[in-house]
Structure 1
Amino acid sequence: MRSTAYVTTRPRYGVLDVVGLLFRELLLMVVVFLLIFALGAAAVFTLKKTYTAQGAVFAGVGQEYVYQPRVGTAERGQAPQGDEVANSEAAILSSGQVRQRVIDALGPQVILGRAPKGAPEKSKAAASKVLGSSLQVATAPGSAVIRVSYKADNPQQAARILNSVIDQYLAYRREVFQDKTPAIASQRLAFEEDLNAADRAYEQFLTSNDIGDFAAAKATLAATYQTTFADRMATQSQLNQTSQRLSTLVALQASTPAEVALQQDLNISAQDQVLQLRTERQQLLSRYQPDAQPVKDIEARIAQLQAYVASGTAVGPKEVRTGPNPVWTELETTRINTQADRDALAARLAALDRQLSDIRSRQA
């Protein structure tokens, strides 16, 4: 006996088959589309319109966050970053105390947009809840600007509530940064009196010393003092150098003669006599023999004179003329100029010392 098995296969549809099937259910598709469109349109047309009022508050660094001296040149305190101040002010702006002040100032009916029902406490609680959900406070990293916005069904209502929030924030922050403790208040008043007295003394000081800008005058005096002090150091160095040069010139001049021999005539009469005797010997040789007695006599005299000249005592100064020494004269001229330079530098140094003393007294 043979058994037979049957396998069911899914039909394969082409693009035209799919389009045909869709057109078969066209009525159902239209009905579903109209139903969804009607629900969406009903939701859109039934929703209430909301209007957003926007504002911005700049949170700068003031006396509340950093110490800024009113008198003198004391250093300022470390200032926080702009976004840190903005975050601190944003916390005050979105605090519950500010919302409560807005409710007290405007009334719950303005915030709720209708007449309150029930007990006043419930109305205020409902207004506080609406105000908290509709008010948006945002800050950006690195920015000192706080963005504030409020959503309401009426644009005038949104703007009015937002302005009231900002006004109440400004009033509340003044109270936050103001200590009402009696002891601290009296101490603050004493400090303010001292500061006012210091201000008056400061203004009087500027007026009596003809100073318009104290910081600029102080910086100018400091720069002038540095320049004058550097000039004094250079002048002192030049004065020491000139004084040492003058001492050296005086020592050299003391060891240099003031007069020297300018010209001298030598005594050469012995050489002249030798030449004269030689001339006479030549004349005698023309009349006598070389071994004649007159010739021998004159030769003996020539030998004696030559021996005298050879001894070195025959030649000496005959006439000497003296005059001023040029080296001593140059040293004297240089000494006079150097002494004049030294006196000028000493006078300049004294003037610089007086200027430094005046600058120091004015700085004090």
Structure 2
Amino acid sequence: MLDTSAITGESVPREVEPGNEILSGTINKNGLLTVEVTKEFGDSTVSKILELVQNANSKKAPTEQFITKFSRYYTPVVVFVALAMAIIPPLVVSGATFSDWIYRALVFLVVSCPCALVISIPLGFFGGIGGAAKSGILVKGSNYLEAINNVDTIVFDKTGTLTKGVFKVTKIYTLDRESEENLLEYAAFAESYSNHPIAISILKAYGKEINKSEIENYDEISGHGIKVSVKGKRILAGNKKLMAKENITYDVVDETGTVVHVAIDGKYAGYIVISDEIKDDAQKAVRELKGIGVKKLVMLTGDSKLVGEAIGRQLGLDEVYAELLPDQKVEKLEQLEKQKKTKGKLLFVGDGINDAPVLARADVGVRF
């Protein structure tokens, strides 16, 4: 099991086996791995993320690049013209005085740089930035504040942005002979020696002290689950591969999240679903964004297609793209930008290190 959260943003560990590709920057959660290095450091995932962030500014909108270039030449031209007005006429025009032409040069400087615009517009932006700061929102600059006014496409990350990013037991299903409490208890005893995030979620949901002296014949089967004897009963807790390996007929589950099947004394007892939860205000936020005229709401996630599409349906998003790495998120963002039919801005909302390239590439990046 590998923790890929720093790269994909997803908290659920990924299962790997011989022959699978492993991304640099992931953390081994259990077991011993022998890994063959197949790429130079410059081609590694982490190195690509850094390169994407550094190059993002070069791909900003053409209008922004034009304004930056224009302002670089405009100011010195105006200053030199004003100097010429102050110096040349008194030297070449009879009767002209320096006092008159210096005054006219100053007038020209004022006209070419309108005070009303120069003073009032920055003050307006400072007021907006200050008001946002009081609500706990930090705006990096006035250009981002102005861009927000023209946003017509918003792209979200999933974990930690639309969902809480904390995995917990969300459903317990049992057959008639077992209560939910008993099933959870047996699963908690089985998982008591594991430091896997799924095991921790089950132990937290159980919430009681576990007497480990009641546990016997503990056997963790890599990639499958756990076999153990608890209070004289033989418990199996794991994925569908464990059930198939032990020839136990199990229910096919179509749930959003990770499913832990439980069997007691060779008979299927039920299952426990561990999944991420949608944030309490996520649906309200999506609804209100559509209400103020945002035309397209999209989600990009490194999570599985099944989970991503289920979250998208619950929230009412327009499009969902799943199983994406950081560089693939940037590519998808650029595709979405090309698909826009208006001149509106594209805003990306994310929270993880893996979102840094997309945050930098978007017209406006919002980070929690």
Between Structure 1 and Structure 2, the one with more strand by share is 2
Higher Cα Rg: structure 1 or 2? Answer: 1
Q: Which has the higher contact order (CA 8 A, sep 6+)?
A: 2
TM-score per shorter chain, which class? under 0.3
Between Structure 1 and Structure 2, the one with more helix by share is 1
TM-score, length basis structure 2 = 0.23
